[in-house]
Amino acid sequence: MKFTTRYSIISLLLPMLLIAGCAKPVKEQAHSGFLGDYSKLEKVGDAHYYYASRDLANYSSFMIDPVVILYAEDPEKPVFTPEELDDLKAHFVDKLTKALTKDGAYQIVDTPGPGVGRFRIGITKLDASTGALNVVIWTKVTGAGLGGIATESELVDSITGKQLVAGIRWGSGSRILRAGFTRAGDAKILVNRWIKKFRERLDEAHGASK
């Protein structure tokens, strides 16, 4: 019975696997021109460029601009619907807001001023997850269902526009750790991870472990 059930599951997933093939991981994208300055970025990981000014410690209030899609969907065969993209952009802002305001450490404001930084975030690449292939371990380990995302982001002074932080990141879902079950699932998991890391860096700049 167990063998029959397992065989049935594999039979159902095989067509998806053949269609999806072996998903290619999201790679580094060409500079989009979104960031005000790329010259100070340094590679700090296999899939991450980063820069932070010493002045970051002087900022504890933040504005968050709407997330921008910096790549073009094929109008005839779009991978994501406008609703899915809006949901991902809202997820980005929501998670960043919650990470910053956790424990009352920092404030989100809507007016420029001294000591206020402004986040600018752009998505340069987005690959869809195939949830059905990420549920079962036999197909999950192939990576065929994994999606991913690439972003460019910066934090600037809300008055002068001086760049305080800049980052370029890209990545795909994990064959071992938790994977996405919705089309933007892996992208959201990566976003959550990257935001958590930024909060840690912000705390370090403020000389605190919050």
Please name the amino acid found at residue 148. Answer: G
Q: What was the pLDDT predicted at 90? A: 98
Whether residue 84 is contained in a domain is answered as yes
Our count of domains for the chain comes to 1
Residue 210 lies in a domain: no
* CATH number, domain containing residue 32: 3.30.160
| Mean of pLDDT values over 59-67 | 98
- Among residues 199, 118, 122, which one has the least CA distance to residue 156? 118
Q: Would 106 be classed as within a structural domain? A: yes
Chain segment 178-206, per-residue pLDDT in tens: 444 578 888 999 999 999 999 999 999 99
pLDDT number for residue 78: 87
36 has pLDDT over 90: yes
Residue 125 gets which letter from DSSP?
E
Nearest to 128 by CA among 88, 76, 175: 88
3-state secondary structure of 99: helix
Q: Are strands 116-127 and 148-157 parallel, antiparallel or unpaired?
A: antiparallel
Specify whether the CB–CB gap between 49 and 167 falls below 8 A.
yes
Residue, of 16 and 67, whose pLDDT is higher? 67
Kindly indicate the confidence band of residue 172, based on its pLDDT and cuts at 50, 70 and 90: confident
Give the span between the Cα atoms of 141 and 124, in whole angstroms: 26
Instruction: Convert the pLDDT of each residue in 138-169 to its tens digit.
Output: 444 444 457 899 999 999 999 999 999 999 99
**Structural domain includes residue 162:** yes
Q: How far apart are CA 2 and CA 202, in angstroms?
A: 51
pLDDT of the residue at 74: 83
pLDDT for residue 75 is more than 90: no
- Give the pTM: 0.81
Which domain range does residue 193 map to?
2-205
Reply yes or no on whether the pLDDT at 88 is more than 50: yes
Name the phi and psi angles at 63, rounded to 5. -110, 150
Q: Is residue 7 part of a domain?
A: yes
What integer best gives the mean pLDDT of the chain? Answer: 83
Residues 15-31 have pLDDT tens digits of 444 444 455 677 899 99
Decide if 148 is inside a domain: yes
Q: Domain for residue 32, yes or no?
A: yes
Which pLDDT does position 20 carry in this prediction? 44
Residue 34 lies in a domain: yes
